[in-house]
Structure 1
C-alpha cells in the first residue's frame, strides 16, 4: 500500500502559491478567501505568512496568518467574549484574511478534507507555540464552517461572536423583494423607494477606474473615520491601487448616488462566484439624508444589480443589522474557532456563552424572528 505524505509548510506570502491551485480550494462566493483578495492586502499593507497543507505534492488546504489588532473594535479579541474567562488579553495567531468580517475554509472538498483541516489546526497551533502566542483564532466564520473546523481538533471550541446580514436575491430584484414583504414592511419599502426618487436622487453603476477611485475615496474615508477607522483617503487609494494590480477591479462594481448633480453616497460591491458582496460605503456628510439614500445605495440597488446579473446571494456585512433586517435581510450568526495552547475553556461556560449570545439576538429583534436564520436555533436550547 502506498503511503501518501502530508506536508505542513509556511510561506512568506500568498503570492508564493499558484493562484490556480489556491482558488481551486475556495468555494464560490467566498470572496475574502480568494487569492486575489489576500494578495491585494499584501500589496497594500505588506505581506503576511501563509500556512499550507499538501498531500502528495498537491495543495489541499491553506490559511493566511496575522496578528489581530490591539485597539478595541472588530478585530480585538477581548471584545469578543467579555464574560467568558480566557486568555483574551494575550496575543493570538489569527487565521484568515486581515480585517475580514467573513472568513471561510480554504480546503479540498475530497476525502482528504478531514485530515487536511486537522493538520491545518495542528500546524497553526505549532506556529502559535513557536511565537509564544496563547493560541489560534479564526473568527467571522459561518456556523457550518466553524463547526467543521472545530471538529478537526479535540481541544478546539466554536464560539459565537457576531452576525451578518444576507439576502436571498429574488429573480425580479426589488420588485419581488417589495411585493413579498408583509403589509407594514411592504408599505415601508415602497415609501422609501418613492421618497428616494422624489428627493431627486439618481443612481449610476460604473466600473472601478482610477478616476472613480479618486472621486469616491474621500467619501469612503470620511465614513470610515466616523466609525473609528482613521486611515484616510491615501489609504483607500492605496487599497484600490493594490486591487488594480492584482485584477480585483474586474470583479468590482461601484454604485454612485447623485442628488442635483452632486455625489451623495457611494457603494463598492464585488462579485465572486454566485455572490455579490457589499464592501465599502461612503457618504457626503453635508448631503441631505432625506429620501433614504443609505438604504437604497446599500440594499435595494444591490438587490436589483444581483438579480439582473444572475447572482442569487447578496452579503451586506455586519453593520447596521437592525436597519437591514427591517428591509428584508436575514441575520446569520458568525462564529470563531478558538484553539488554546495551554489554557482550557470550560465547556459549560462555552455553551452558556453561545446560548446567551443567540438569545441576545433573538431578544434584539422580537418582531423579526422569521428573519433570523435557522442556525440560531441550535444555540437557544
Structure 2
C-alpha cells in the first residue's frame, strides 16, 4: 500500500479528515490537531514534527494515522525514556521515532482512522516498510481504543503495553448528594469537609462554554496553565495562540470553569466534551489555596457531569489521590513496533513482567475506592 505523508493538516480540508473521525472524540478532529500545529505548539524545534500517514484509493481518503516524528519522549505519558537510554548505552539510534498519539493528551480513543477495518489493517501492514524507508527506529501508538487494539493484535511484531488511569463513572446520580450516598460514612464526611473548606474561603464557580470565553479570560486561562509549568521551571507545551484558535474552531466542545473569590478569578480548569465523556485537561491557579485543586478539577467536573447527564469524567493521567474521591482504575493500552531485534526482545520481556504488575496494581487500587461494600 502506498502511504502519503502529510506534514501539515492545513494541506487537507477539515471535512475530508473529519469524515474518518468518530464525532464523539474531539481530540482527533481537524480543528484540535490543526490548532496545535497552527499555533506553533507543534513544530520540528519542539521535537514534534507532524507526519500524518494517509492512504488514498481512487482519489478518496481511506485511512489515516495522525502521527509525529519525535526526537525525544516528552509529552507522551507512555514512558519509554529507559528504552532510549538503554539504546544510547548500546550504541543504537532510538531517535527519531514515529508516534501516533494526541500530543500532550493522555486520553484513550481512536488512533487508526479508517473507512473500513480492511483499509485500517492494510495501512498498519505498510507501516514497517515505511519505518525502514525513512530510517525510523520504531513506531508507537498510544492510548488505543478497542478497534485499534483488535487490528494491532492481528499484525506481526507489535508489543502491547498496559497502563492504569482513574476515571469517574456517573451511574445515573440525581445530584452530588446522591453520589455521596454511595460512599462509606467516613469517606462521605471527608468529601463534604473538603468542599466546605473551599466554600468557607469564599469561592464561587462559573462554567463557560467556548463561545462565552472572552480573549481577556483566555489570557487568564493561559496564565494559570503556564504557571503550573513555571513552578517546576519548565516551558509550557502549548502557546497562548492555541486556546484562541481552538475557541474559534471548535467552541462547542470547550468547557472552562473559573474559581472566583468575589469578582476575581484565581484558578481555572479547562475541559473538552465529547460524546458521553468530559475530559479534564488543564488546570492552573495563580496562588495557593487549601483544597481548591480538588474542588476545581474533580468535584466541579463530577457535578457538571451529573447535571448534564455525562456518563464518564476523565480528569487526566496519574493521581492516586483520585481513588478516594471515587475515580476507578481503568486499564489503558499502547502498542510498540521496534525494528532492532535485540531491543525488541528485551522490551518484550520487560513488558510481560510489567503487565503483571499493572494488573495487580489496578486490582489493589480498587480496594482503596470509597464506595460502600455491597
The verdict on how the C-alpha distance between 1:88 and 1:367 changes in structure 2, with shifts beyond 3 A counting, is farther
Q: Secondary structure at the match of 2:226?
A: helix
Q: Secondary structure at the match of 1:192?
A: helix
Q: Distance in 1 between matches of 2:217 and 2:35?
A: 19
Does residue 168 in structure 1 map to residue 173 in structure 2? no
CA contact (8 A) 1:44 1:242 kept: yes
Q: Which residues of 2 match residues 84-233 of structure 1 at below 5 A? A: 89-107=94-112, 112-113=116-117, 115-142=118-145, 144-145=146-147, 147-160=149-162, 162-169=163-170, 170-206=172-208, 207-227=212-232, 229-231=234-236
- Provide structure 2 residue ranges, at least 5 long, that are not aligned to the other structure: 44-48
CA contact (8 A) 1:146 1:335 kept: no
Q: Which residues of 2 match residues 320-359 of structure 1 at below 5 A? A: 321-343=319-341, 344-345=344-345, 347-359=348-360
The verdict on how the C-alpha distance between 1:288 and 1:182 changes in structure 2, with shifts beyond 3 A counting, is same
Look up the match of 2:305.
306
- Provide structure 1 residue ranges, at least 5 long, that are not aligned to the other structure: 1-5, 372-381
**Offset at 1:109?**
7.5
CA contact (8 A) 2:328 2:369 kept: no
Q: Distance in 2 between matches of 1:147 and 1:84?
A: 27
Q: Distance in 2 between matches of 1:171 and 1:76?
A: 33
The verdict on how the C-alpha distance between 1:65 and 1:181 changes in structure 2, with shifts beyond 3 A counting, is same
Q: Distance in 2 between matches of 1:163 and 1:92?
A: 24
Match of 2:17 among 22, 36, 44: 22
Deviations along 1:225-253, one digit per CA (max 9) or x if unpaired, are: 33464138xx54221122134x1233212
Look up the match of 1:32.
27
Does residue 8 in structure 1 map to residue 3 in structure 2? yes
Q: Secondary structure at the match of 1:181?
A: coil
Does residue 367 in structure 1 map to residue 362 in structure 2? no
TM-score (norm 2): 0.82
Deviations along 1:54-83, one digit per CA (max 9) or x if unpaired, are: 455543321122134526664585337699
CA contact (8 A) 1:166 1:329 kept: yes
CA contact (8 A) 2:50 2:69 kept: no
**Offset at 1:98?**
2.2
Q: Which moved more, 1:222-231 or 1:37-46?
A: 222-231
CA contact (8 A) 2:39 2:241 kept: yes
Q: Distance in 2 between matches of 1:150 and 1:228?
A: 39
**Offset at 1:125?**
2.7
Deviations along 1:96-151, one digit per CA (max 9) or x if unpaired, are: 222221243355687x31x3232222333333222211110012335x35632421
Q: Distance in 2 between matches of 1:275 and 1:253?
A: 12
Q: Secondary structure at the match of 1:22?
A: helix
**Offset at 1:92?**
1.4
Q: Distance in 1 between matches of 2:198 and 2:224?
A: 20
Q: Distance in 1 between matches of 2:129 and 2:20?
A: 23
RMSD: 3.1
